[in-house]
Amino acid sequence: MNRKRLVVTVVLLMAAACFAFAAGSSETTTKKAEGVYSGVTLNFWSMWNSNEPQGQVVAAAAKAFEEKTGAKINIEWKGRDINKIIATALEAGENIDVFEEDYRRIGNVYKNYVYDLTDMAKAANYDAQSYACFNEEITKWAGFLAAITEQPQVGGIFYNKEIFKNAGITIPTTWDEFLAVNQKLVDKGYEPMALDSAYADFFFGYHLDRRIGQAVTTELVKNGGWSKNAGAVAAAQDIIDYRKAGYLAAGAPDEFPSSQNKIGLTGKVAMIVCANYVCSEVNNTTGANIDWGMFNYPTIAAPAGSGSTNAYAGANSLAITKYSKNPQAAFDFLMLLTSGEYDQKMANAASQIPADPRNVAPAIMNGTIETLQATSSPLSWSMGLNANPDIKANVKTNIIALFEGKFATGADFAKAMDALYK
């Protein structure tokens, strides 16, 4: 009887100990600093990891803010998977003040849970230190300024400057000029365009935007009617002709990242249609020191095309939760992180575009600030081709097959796309 009581007591104690440790250890913060925000604690859910260059800059900025204002910033390094857990956390009213996410999701999915930053931004003259295109887009989606841009991205054609110089190429602006550039490169013994199948829809989406515009593409993807749209058929035919002329690099479309790596490995491949992170990606992976430049995807004038000169632009941004107890303190920290000294540090450490246009883009990102400032209607990733979740995967496979030369004519491609809507 006594032994049984002892066993039960031990088991209950063990269970209690488990729960005590499971509840987590609480931090005892006894840092007492004098400052504007002393006593304020901000909880920051970051999409970076602590050892990434971006993460290190965020940590340094947080420390500087703490010293300047006496606030305490708790950073939780959630990594990229934050996009899977943040929605649930916001709905549950979890104790978060600031989080980082793709600005498209902030403006569309989380808009009911984030703070309206319009007034604070006006008071801080935020317009002078940010890109108008992102602020306008997110205001369009959410109805108010919902996020502060941290990591801008821009898309276009990134090229090896040395190859262009050796071949005597001038930057093309129209599709016909672009085709002539490709031919000149082939004549000089270079391979014009790298392509990985993972970015096939990005490339084709850009081209569709030049033929019919992103809005029409989105309509076609949602409801079908590809064969009836002459512009869409022409766009597919353009790709078939492009491939037949031999302008794709050997082996393209290849499996990511084989084709883009060839830019660095062989030194013979000249261009790639991608977003700006491809530059440092290729340089770091292949060890090559490519001198990168970029130009906007060439345009096709009406009536054959849409005349669009828009570029893809996206951003990872910072948002403040609606229920945050210290929105002004959080906003001041965001201003510190995304402008001036710390934004320049971020751009240099991670070889990315500065969030503050007054800063200087690292050499590898030449031309990106100007392109972003000239963009009024940024294109979304894949320019509408992802708008229909029911057929998304099949659309992508059809596009990869288009680049592989599996369709004889643009009309065949349009027919294959229409077959998805039966």
Partner 1 sequence: MRNDKKLIIGFLTPCILTLFIMYLYPVARTLVMSFFRIESVTAATSTWSFYGLGNYAKIFHSPSFKSAMWNMVRIWLVGGILTLSLALIFAMILTSGIRFKKFFRAAIYMPNIISAVALATMWIQYVFNQDYGMLNQMIRFFGGTGVKWLGTDLKFWAMLFSFIFGAVGYYMLIFISGIEKIPADIYEAATIDGASKVQQAMKITMPLLKGVTKTNITFWSIHTTTFFLWSMMFSPVDTEAATIVPVVYLYNTVFGSKGNSQRDAGAGAAVGVVLALIIVAIYFVMNRLFKDDDVEY
Binding site for partner 1 (CB under 8 A): 1, 4, 7-8, 11, 15, 83-84, 87-88, 91-92, 104-105, 108-109, 197-199, 201, 251, 253-256, 258, 380-382, 385-387, 389-394, 396-397, 400-401, 404, 406, 420
Smallest distance, partner 1 to C-beta of residue 96, A:
15
Smallest distance, partner 1 to C-beta of residue 65, A:
31
DSSP H or E stretch at residue 77: strand 72-77
Q: Which is nearer to partner 1, 72 or 396 (CB)?
A: 396
- Using the 8-state DSSP alphabet, how is residue 298 labeled? P
Q: Which is nearer to partner 1, 331 or 413 (CB)?
A: 413
Residues 6+ apart with CB under 8 A from 30: none
Smallest distance, partner 1 to C-beta of residue 4, A:
6
- Using the 8-state DSSP alphabet, how is residue 381 labeled? G
8 Å CB contact between 293 and 367: yes
Neighbouring C-beta atoms of residue 236, cutoff 10 Å: 26
Smallest distance, partner 1 to C-beta of residue 18, A:
10
Alpha-carbon span 417 to 208, nearest angstrom: 14
Alpha-carbon span 3 to 10, nearest angstrom: 11
Alpha-carbon span 395 to 5, nearest angstrom: 67
Smallest distance, partner 1 to C-beta of residue 254, A:
6
Q: Is it true that the peptide bond before 257 is cis, omega within 30 degrees of 0? A: yes
8 Å CB contact between 304 and 234: yes
Task: Specify the length of the chain in residues.
Answer: 422
Q: Which is nearer to partner 1, 177 or 390 (CB)?
A: 390
Smallest distance, partner 1 to C-beta of residue 343, A:
26
Q: Which is nearer to partner 1, 58 or 86 (CB)?
A: 86
Q: Which is nearer to partner 1, 72 or 78 (CB)?
A: 78
Q: Which is nearer to partner 1, 62 or 274 (CB)?
A: 274
| 3-class DSSP state of 116 | coil
Mark out the alpha helices in 172-276 (DSSP H runs). Answer: 175-187, 200-212, 214-223, 230-244, 258-266
Smallest distance, partner 1 to C-beta of residue 281, A:
12
Q: Which is nearer to partner 1, 1 or 302 (CB)?
A: 1
Smallest distance, partner 1 to C-beta of residue 288, A:
16
Q: Which is nearer to partner 1, 108 or 170 (CB)?
A: 108
Phi-psi region of 367 (alpha: psi -120 to 50; beta: other; left: phi over 0): left
Residue 385 Cα to chain centre, angstroms: 16
**How many CA within 13 A on the CB side of residue 362?**
19
